[in-house]
Amino acid sequence: MHKYLMICNAYPTLENLYANSFLHRRVKAYQQKGLDVDIVVITTKVLKDKYYDGVHIKYMDEYQIASFLKENDYSTVLFHFINQKMFYGINQLEEQERPNIVVWLHGFEAEAWHRRYYNFLESISQLDNALERKDTVFQPQKEFLQDIMTRKDVNIKFIYVSRRFKELYVDPYVGVVPDNYHIIHNIIDDELFQYHKKSADDRLKICTIRPFTAKNYANDITVDVIKQLSRKKYFHKLEFNIYGDGKLFNVLTNPLTQFDNVNLHKGFVKQNDIPEIHKNHGIYLGPSRHDSQGVSLGEAMSSGLVPVTNNIGGIPEFITHKETGMLASRDNVNEMVEHIEFIYKHARKFKKMSENAAESIKQQAGLDTVISKEIEVITNGWS
Amino acid sequence: MAGVDWEKAYHDLENHIEAIMRETSELVNNASPKLKLNEVYITKTNTLDVIIDATGEKMEYAIDLIDRKGKMDTVKTGYQKSNTFSFDIPDGRYSITAYAKESQKDNSRVFEKTTVNFKRVFKDE
């Protein structure tokens, strides 16, 4: 029987349930399909093995990974958030001993550093620090990706989480496109985010569930949209619930405390609590400045909410304007307000969009769809 | 090997850069100046007057004044909000170390050393 090894930068444990929890969702699904998958988390810390929900997790540095790969015969190694150190063990093997390799490209590990500008524009020193890292960290990572995308001595496939992520972010950054790649989206767990039919009144209930840790989450736009909507006659008929946590929460939401129909829920929202929130709302207001896919938008769609968001990054690959959601151009508050007004005025259209959104995202990124495609890539088509 | 669609990527990046520039402008406009000691001005009258010109946020200034011949104890003013110092001292050769720091930052400090040959100048001279 073939054995598979996943090497990643973090994996959920009982102490840290939410570290890359989407990897665990995959591993459980692979196991259900009969794949035997071991997990290695790369770290320089000395940590004992852990077990989480039936999965054995080992912690190793790059040299331990190299020894481990020599001692164990894995048919395929799966990399998430890959970097040079993770790959060191593969390079230490003789060419004929090297396993097949699948590399998932999710986001930051395969994009130009300046695409995530919002992470270092809080202060001049943060910006200076990023510029320093440009040569020491980002450039080596780019060269590493160029290397593994072009070399012929490894049997390697790449998975991009969206086509637009590949074409707009990764391709121009790396400058080369690998021969063997697949577009497979992150899972939108339609078992957890089950569709609930929406009534016309649900369009009046608007929620957002976002981290308030960085500007890319564009919560400032959410606040501006609500402030602008407050000048509309129908504003008092709407209800807003804002969920999230982070250093920007109080600063950003403070102007909204004056509105009785805006409820602020500061705190981390557990994955399992989100479906209940979805059940009570009809619109998911989720502006964004940078997204390779927009998983939280997809989860809301799966539950039957109509997303109102921005036409940036990977998002339009999952949302068709006025069919499965509403798209505004980048940073455009006016358009977002118009979109919410459109939904307010077109109850029947809202209900149709809600159904379409759930159906479309399930087909595109539902659990079965994604896992079937991934297993096909992992187990078949190796030369 | 398939190629990169540079044109498509360029248009997306161009759109993104505008947002980056807008936020960079916000950062620069709201940024506090970087701590820097520009100049130490010394004027000799009947006193030795020192003005420290520095840029930074919420500044404090201090002087160490050392008599090169050791006849007088070293004067350490300690940090103060004013950037102007006046010393009523005998004629002689002195070393001056002028300090500037940002009061709300613990590890920020800049300084400049200079020497001065001081001879009192009276107005009726």
> Could you state, in chain order, the average pLDDT of each consecutive group of 10 residues for chain B (125 residues)?
84 84 81 86 93 92 94 93 95 96 83 93 64
> According to the model, what pLDDT value does residue A125 have?
79
Report which residue type is found at A133. R
Task: Choose between A214 and A315: higher pLDDT.
Answer: A315
> According to the model, what pLDDT value does residue B123 have?
61
Compare CB distances from A114 to B3, B4, B20 and report the shortest one's residue. Answer: B20
Task: Choose between A9 and A2: higher pLDDT.
Answer: A9
In a domain, A193, yes or no: no
Identify whether residues A350 and A373 lie together within a single domain. no
In a domain, B110, yes or no: yes
Identify whether residues A272 and A230 lie together within a single domain. yes
Structure tokens at A189: 């767990």
Is residue A151 less than 8 Å (CB to CB) from chain B?
Answer: no
Q: Inspect the interface and report whether the beta carbons of A177 and B24 lie closer than 8 Å.
A: no
In a domain, B90, yes or no: yes
Identify whether residues A220 and A172 lie together within a single domain. no
The nearest CA of chain A is from the CA of B36 a distance in Å of 15
In a domain, B102, yes or no: yes
Using alpha carbons only, what angle is made at residue A357 by residues A373 and A229, rounded to the nearest 5 degrees? 140
| Domain that includes residue A181, residue range | 3-187+367-379
In a domain, A259, yes or no: yes
Nearest CA in chain B to A179: B1
- Burial state string for A76-94 with b = 16 or more CB within 10 A and e = fewer than 16: bbbbbbbbebbbbbbebee
CATH number of the domain within which B108 lies: 2.60.40.10
For an interface test with B, which of A171, A183, A310 has the most B Cβ atoms less than 10 Å from its Cβ?
A171
Q: How far, CA to CA in Å, does A177 sit from each of A146, A292, A383? A: 9, 17, 19
In a domain, A179, yes or no: yes
Q: How far, CA to CA in Å, does B72 sit from each of B87, B88, B90, B93? A: 12, 12, 9, 11
In a domain, B53, yes or no: yes
Residue A242 and residue A206 in contact, taking contact as beta carbons nearer than 8 Å? no
Identify whether residues A110 and A204 lie together within a single domain. no
In a domain, B20, yes or no: no
Is residue A147 less than 8 Å (CB to CB) from chain B?
Answer: no
| Domain that includes residue B56, residue range | 36-118
Residue B105 and residue B116 in contact, taking contact as beta carbons nearer than 8 Å? no
Identify whether residues A223 and A131 lie together within a single domain. no
In a domain, B50, yes or no: yes
CATH number of the domain within which A179 lies: 3.40.50.11930
Domain count, chain B: 1
Token pair 């929406």 is found at A198
In a domain, B28, yes or no: no
Domain count, chain A: 2
Q: At what angle do helices A295-303 and A347-365 cross, to 10 degrees?
A: 120
Q: Inspect the interface and report whether the beta carbons of B24 and A121 lie closer than 8 Å.
A: yes
Is residue A338 less than 8 Å (CB to CB) from chain B?
Answer: no
The pTM (predicted TM-score) of the whole model is 0.82
Residue B83 and residue B61 in contact, taking contact as beta carbons nearer than 8 Å? yes
The nearest CA of chain B is from the CA of A164 a distance in Å of 9
Q: Inspect the interface and report whether the beta carbons of A175 and B12 lie closer than 8 Å.
A: no
Minimum mean pLDDT range among A47-56, A74-83, A366-375: A47-56
Give the residue-averaged pLDDT of A245-258.
93
The DSSP line for B52-89 is: EEEESSSEEEEEEEEETTSSSPPEE---BS-SEEEE--
Identify whether residues A228 and A300 lie together within a single domain. yes
The nearest CA of chain B is from the CA of A365 a distance in Å of 24
Identify whether residues A258 and A320 lie together within a single domain. yes
CATH number of the domain within which A242 lies: 3.40.50.2000
pLDDT band of A9, cuts 50, 70, 90: very high
Is residue A334 predicted with pLDDT exceeding 70? yes
Identify whether residues A258 and A283 lie together within a single domain. yes
Pairing outcome for strands B92-102 and B59-67: antiparallel
In a domain, A296, yes or no: yes
Q: Inspect the interface and report whether the beta carbons of B31 and A123 lie closer than 8 Å.
A: yes
Identify whether residues A114 and A79 lie together within a single domain. yes
For an interface test with A, which of B6, B7, B13, B36 has the most A Cβ atoms less than 10 Å from its Cβ?
B13
In a domain, A267, yes or no: yes
> According to the model, what pLDDT value does residue A90 have?
97
Phi-psi region of A218 (alpha: psi -120 to 50; beta: other; left: phi over 0): left
> According to the model, what pLDDT value does residue B124 have?
59
Identify whether residues A266 and A244 lie together within a single domain. yes
Minimum mean pLDDT range among A9-23, A186-200, A282-296, B88-102: A9-23
Q: Which helix (H) or strand (E) holds B29?
A: helix B6-30
> According to the model, what pLDDT value does residue B2 have?
65
pLDDT digits (tens, 9 = 90+) for A104-156: 999 999 999 888 887 788 778 788 888 888 889 999 999 999 999 999 999 99
In a domain, A361, yes or no: yes
Residue A37 and residue A198 in contact, taking contact as beta carbons nearer than 8 Å? no
Q: Mean pLDDT score of chain A, rounded to an integer?
A: 94
Identify whether residues A24 and A172 lie together within a single domain. yes
- How far is the C-alpha of B106 from the C-alpha of B114, rounded, in Å? 25
3-state secondary structure of A381: coil
- How far is the C-alpha of A131 from the C-alpha of A155, rounded, in Å? 35
Identify whether residues A143 and A281 lie together within a single domain. no
In a domain, B11, yes or no: no
In a domain, A102, yes or no: yes
Residue A320 and residue A210 in contact, taking contact as beta carbons nearer than 8 Å? no
Residue B107 and residue B61 in contact, taking contact as beta carbons nearer than 8 Å? no
Q: How far, CA to CA in Å, does B58 sit from each of A2, A18, B37, B80, B103? A: 66, 42, 14, 11, 6
**Neighbour count for residue A21 (Cβ, 10 Å):** 13
Give the residue-averaged pLDDT of A349-372.
97
Is residue A176 less than 8 Å (CB to CB) from chain B?
Answer: yes
Compare CB distances from B1 to A124, A127, A179 and report the shortest one's residue. Answer: A179
